């Protein structure tokens, strides 16, 4: 059904998805059936994944921050039954962000385990040609994954946060704990300690939740299929890297990093999906 829509209508739909609108709200605004919107989003999202894989090569980045953000497919982990598909339950998006250019050179969707941590670092290392400083939180899997991906000749440090325990908070209610202490630890090499930081990637996680409806907290707009989730995340990162002007940079992250000389627009992303 998506191929009978004009490019203009397709662009409106994809732009709305990239700006955080839900599928049903877009259906109400455009009178385009939600199944058509989902199929179009999947097609353009998969095209965006290919575009990101192609363009994010041979990068020179100085200071990379990495983090992972939680979501779920179909149902949360506690509700998954043995007979359910292995795709259902918690899903994590591993994200890298360059501190200077704000570029997202690499991301992987999967589980929060050593396998996906290693795959993430291998992918990131394959896209960077220099020796960047890397910062992460204190997740145990990162230390070995960074060394596997970049080797022992890498500058890597961790932010270690100590959280206050709030026993008065209702069980099962989402409420971030108060951070009472933050320490910087050198793990490998000689990173600049003052630049061991995850603040920028944590802000990007907030941006992702605001622009990707499937990751907005406390909503019923979650993905029912893993392929749809991956497509939505890829669309968001293509929009962020190539289309949206970054407020601090006054250009897109791809332009700041020298990946492209000019910004793309939403119509470009739609037309690429049909090539």
Q: What is the pLDDT of residue 97?
A: 97
- For 225, list phi and psi in degrees, rounded to 5: -130, 145
Residues 6+ apart with CB under 8 A from 138: 158, 159, 160, 161, 185
Place of tokens 């998006």: 93
Return the closest-CA partner of residue 271 out of 7, 46, 9.
Answer: 7
CB count within 10 Å of CB 250 equals: 9
Nearest to 94 by CA among 145, 45, 46: 145
Give the global pTM.
0.90
Q: What is the pLDDT of residues 199-240, one digit of tens each?
A: 999 999 999 999 988 888 777 778 889 999 999 999 999 999
Q: Mean pLDDT, to the nearest integer, of 117-133? A: 96
Q: Tell me, what's the pLDDT at 1? A: 43
Arithmetic mean of pLDDT, 11-21: 95
Calculate mean pLDDT across residues 176-195.
Answer: 87
Strands (E), 62-210: 63-73, 89-98, 106-110, 133-136, 155-163, 179-188
Query: Are the CB atoms for 270 and 14 separated by under 8 Å?
Result: yes
pLDDT band, residue 2 (cuts 50/70/90): very low
pLDDT score of 126 more than 70: yes
Cα atoms in the 13 Å half-sphere on the side-chain side of 104: 31
Rounded to whole angstroms, how far apart are CA atoms 215 and 213?
5
Domain that residue 144 falls in: 2-274
Mean pLDDT score across all residues of the chain = 91
Number of domains making up the chain: 1
Mean pLDDT over 2-19 rounds to 89
Domain containing 80 — which CATH number? 3.30.420.10
Long-range contacts of 269-272 (CB under 8 A, 24+ apart): 269/14, 269/44, 269/47, 269/48, 269/51, 269/235, 269/238, 269/239, 269/242, 269/243, 270/7, 270/10, 270/11, 270/14, 270/44, 271/7, 272/47, 272/51
Nearest partner of 157 among 174, 176, 178, 142, judged by Cα: 142
Q: pLDDT, tens digit, for every residue of 31-90?
A: 999 999 999 999 999 999 999 999 999 999 999 999 999 999 988 889 889 898 888 999
How confident is residue 92, by pLDDT bands cut at 50, 70 and 90? very high
């Amino acid at each position: 059904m998506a191929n009978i829509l004009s490019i203009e209508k397709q662009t409106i739909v994809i732009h709305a998805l990239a700006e955080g609108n839900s599928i049903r709200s877009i259906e109400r605004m455009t009178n385009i059936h939600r199944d058509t919107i989902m199929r179009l989003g999947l097609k353009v999202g998969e095209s965006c994944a290919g575009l990101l894989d192609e363009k994010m090569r041979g990068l020179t980045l100085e200071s990379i921050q990495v983090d992972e953000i939680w979501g779920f497919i179909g149902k949360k982990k506690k509700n998954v039954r043995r007979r359910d598909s292995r795709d259902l339950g918690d899903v994590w998006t591993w994200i890298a962000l360059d501190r200077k250019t704000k570029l997202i050179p690499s991301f992987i969707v999967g589980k929060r385990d050593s396998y996906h941590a290693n795959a993430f670092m291998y992918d990131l290392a394959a896209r960077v040609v220099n020796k960047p400083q890397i910062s992460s939180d204190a997740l145990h899997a990162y230390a070995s994954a960074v060394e596997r991906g970049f080797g022992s000749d890498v500058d890597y440090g961790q932010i270690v946060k100590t959280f206050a325990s709030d026993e008065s908070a209702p069980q099962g209610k989402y409420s971030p704990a108060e951070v009472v202490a933050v320490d910087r630890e050198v793990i490998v090499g000689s990173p600049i300690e003052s630049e061991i930081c995850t603040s920028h990637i944590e802000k990007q996680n907030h941006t992702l939740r605001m622009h990707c409806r499937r990751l907005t907290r406390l909503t019923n707009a979650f993905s029912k299929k893993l392929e749809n989730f991956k497509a939505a995340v890829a669309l968001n990162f293509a929009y962020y890297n190539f289309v949206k002007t970054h407020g601090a940079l006054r250009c897109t992250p791809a332009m700041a990093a020298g990946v492209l000389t000019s910004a793309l627009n939403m119509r470009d992303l739609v037309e690429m999906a049909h090539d």
